[in-house]
Amino acid sequence: MTGPPTDLAEAPPKRLHGRAFYQKIGSPKRIVAPMVDASELAWRILSRKYNADAAYSPMLHARLFAETESYRRQSLRYAPTSDTEPALSYDGDHNSDRPFLIQFCANDPQHLLSAAKIAQNHCDAVDLNLGCPQGIARKGHYGAFLQEQPDLIYKLINTLHKELDIPVTAKIRILETKEKTLEYAKMVLDAGASILTVHGRRRDQKSHNTGLADWSYIRYLRDNLPPETVIFANGNILYNADVEACLEVTGADGVMVAETNLYNPAVFMPPTASFEERFPRVDVMVRQYLQIVQDLTFGEGNPVVELSREEAREHASLTCIKSHLFRLLHAVFTRKENHYIRNTLAKATGQRFDEILKLADELEKVVEEQLKLTPETPEQWDEIMKEAGGPGADAKVLRIPWWRCQPYVRPTPQQAYEKGAMRKSKKELDAAAKESKRELDADSAAPSSTEETPAKRQKLEEPQPEQIKGNDQLASLDPNVAG
């Protein structure tokens, strides 16, 4: 990692920076991550209702945001400009949507600056995405695929640091070693980032090969960066207790949660909260979410009407609604008798919001009928929570009833290999073939013996490449969730 370009001299901050800025926005500890088509206004309002302290916008494309008015309208909802406009909530609303940070992906400093200058009046800070590992980020050359260009990263951040009226922050992934990650983090901070969010996975850890986030990297940064550095940790959160564990293990100032927040918005509730508060009924959560979407779209107390496709596109909440509901109801859909609800949802559209409300009515009936058959008791909840373990290879997946919000745990890499969902690359297959040939050659050269040597026994018992990769417990991010 090289140092900053010599032609970019450090400029005195024009605004609060680092920990002073963090304290100004209330020192948030529980943060909704920036997620493509997932952390829009309605979802942020819902998450804040369940104890989220701060939230990021979905990842926005800087050039498109700067140049395309229709994209801006779909991405950012502005405050009313006159008394005659409906008094609807908007992105960055000081009453319902702060602290609020807007995240961009970019690879051009001027495109990023143009977008950030438009956005800066609607948020507390602008964030640069340096963590997205998905194929679209590789193709567009942004996110984690800028790691090999530290000079460009420095210029992207430093340009905002010098030119904006609000702070700039950044979200990164770890590199191959702790030392390289520290050097990377120092460069990002030296460029002017006020908050550093660290996702404890490498760029190649995605999809079925996600594996565990390594909190020890975040702890290493905490111990080796100046104490005034503000760090958000990201990765390995399945349950409420994991948020507190992450804060303790990493020493981070806050914990950012992405996918698990989508499956259970109540993940931010404190561990001292009741089982009911930590794992709400899905029908209750869906009803609360839909009420927020309805109020944002039609106005509080106004009737629901069918919208045209063009009108629906103007409401980010409507374009995201189906993906949110599929995630909230993933456990419901594991039961064959509930597949008709899934099929109804698959045919629904945001344009006909009344149909989605009818689906919520049906969901409530299904849950109520189930609770008549199997009433819940506090003793049952206590028994479930006794199984709770910490994050990592030893974490236990709690037996949460299907009618309650809960995380979705994907197959481990080892399980994915066994099921055929993931295959070894040609490079891995070639390496395995070479290793097998070396072992055969070594066996041929070794003196014959009926007694296997300890060294050879040890060799045979070593884990295979897929087993080495298989130390996984957590779900990988959805393809449309930024990393």
pLDDT in tens, 182-239: 999 999 999 999 999 999 999 887 765 667 899 999 999 999 999 999 999 999 999 9
**Are residue 128 and residue 248 in the same domain, yes or no?**
yes
Q: Which helix (H) or strand (E) holds 104?
A: strand 100-105
Q: Which domain holds residue 349?
A: 282-373
CA angle 33, 20, 36 (to 5 degrees): 15
End residue of a domain, out of 373, 394, 412: 373
3-state secondary structure of 11: coil
Q: Per the structure, how many domains does the chain have? A: 2
**Are residue 212 and residue 332 in the same domain, yes or no?**
no
Beta bridge partners of 56: 101
**Are residue 177 and residue 248 in the same domain, yes or no?**
yes
End residue of a domain, out of 218, 250, 272: 272
**In contact, 390 and 243? CB cutoff 8 Å:** no
In a domain? residue 475: no
d(CA 432, CA 465): 8
In a domain? residue 132: yes
End residue of a domain, out of 357, 373, 389: 373
Q: Which residues are catalytic?
A: 132
d(CA 358, CA 115): 40
- The pair of structure tokens assigned to 176 is 């191959």
**CA nearest 49: which of 318, 298, 291?**
291
In a domain? residue 422: no
- Quote the pTM value: 0.83
The CATH number of the domain where 50 resides is what? Answer: 3.20.20.70
**Are residue 221 and residue 287 in the same domain, yes or no?**
no
Q: What is the pLDDT along the chain (483 residues), one digit of tens a residue?
A: 555 554 444 544 458 999 999 999 999 999 999 999 999 999 999 999 999 999 999 999 999 999 999 999 999 998 887 776 667 899 999 999 999 999 999 999 999 999 999 999 999 999 999 999 998 999 999 999 999 999 999 999 999 999 999 999 999 999 999 999 999 999 999 999 999 999 999 988 776 566 789 999 999 999 999 999 999 999 999 999 999 999 999 999 999 999 999 999 999 999 889 999 999 999 999 999 999 999 999 999 999 999 999 899 889 999 999 999 999 999 999 999 999 999 999 999 999 999 999 999 999 999 999 999 999 988 888 888 776 554 544 456 888 999 999 998 876 656 555 666 556 666 656 665 666 666 566 555 554 444 333 333 333 233 333 332 333 333 333 434 545
**Are residue 217 and residue 330 in the same domain, yes or no?**
no
